[in-house]
Chain A
């Protein structure tokens, strides 16, 4: 059975898309077939990390939600961009970058059940081992749906007071929806803090496992979304921490 995992943060700018892209890259390098869905319809962006040019996007998630195409037609194989000849594969399902399409979906909405069906069809038709959903920050209807259908929820937070309460709300929602496994990832921790202490403190505060604490990395800032961090810096300590998250998700993959 395949894994469906939502990567979420209550606030924007937490590094959620960067982490999504690195997790997908690491899973694929390990031989797994991975789908990445950009459900951040209002402000899509993860395609940039995978080097997918807008002109190459024939169909986007918006087109599927409006019934203009099948979900598999929206999948773009970006494996070659990550690592030619890699053992696994990464398929990116981008959201549309066209202002009219973004406005249309905000104005008209779409059939919620179709989104869930699309996720399951992707897993089946692309024979995916894992489907990673890059959610829109905060809690709206489609994010709640993405969380509800997930086997795992990874909540990204920064060591920032503004993130703390929102993370608590998201955890409460996950518990109400009975998400089988939820984990926290603390991102961009200033190097003056001790990661182990922060981990203990966050776990105690939320009563939830911390899968990784990612220290602030100048390389991440300098990369500026031009590439997937784990691919560019395979031996970096942050990549080691990202591998720890993959290991947790790997347990889930074996669960089914």
Chain B
């Protein structure tokens, strides 16, 4: 497992779900992985192993860490468990709606 990805997972603050704007604020390797998961929909451990080209054990540890951080949830009952990014919308919830432009560190 890439050291950089592990470090980013360890450094991220625990939360309960992720808004899309929060996802954009994540560091590169972690954001890239979670964006891939958003695009794929629910993925299996095997899918993650294939995508990262890493071992079963390493990817299982990673997914557990992502669950502990409140970034990923296990979905589906019975059969092979699937993992999905825990997405929430900030509109109408406890956080005021933010303009995405205001939170993106863009230098254009």
Does chain A bind chain B? yes
Show the binding face of A for B, using Cβ within 8 Å: 106-113, 116-117, 120, 138-142, 144-145, 148-151, 165, 168-169, 172-173, 176-178
Q: What are the 3 tightest A-B residue pairs by CB atom distance, in nearest-first order?
A: A109-B92, A144-B20, A139-B100
Which of chain A's residues have a CB closer than 8 A to the CB of B108? Answer: 165, 168-169, 172
Q: How many whole Å from A171's CB to the nearest CB in chain B? A: 9
B interface residues, Cβ below 8 angstroms from A: 19-21, 23-24, 31-32, 35-36, 38-39, 41, 84, 86-93, 97, 99-101, 104, 106, 108
Q: Which residues of B contact A172 (CB under 8 A)?
A: 104, 106, 108
A112 is contacted by which of B24, B31, B36, B89 (Cβ under 8 Å)? B89
> Which listed residue (B32, B39, B91, B104) contacts A109, Cβ 8 A?
B91
Query: Whole-angstrom distance between the alpha carbons of A145 and B17 in the complex?
Result: 14
Contact: B24 with A178, CB < 8 Å?
A: no
The answer to whether A141 and B41 have CB atoms under 8 Å apart is: no
CA distance A108 to B108 in the complex (A): 34
In the complex, the chain B residue whose C-beta lies closest to that of A151 is B39
**A108 to chain B: which residues have CB within 8 Å?**
92
Q: Which residue of B is nearest A121, CB measured?
A: B41
What residue of chain B has the Cβ atom nearest to residue A164's Cβ?
B108
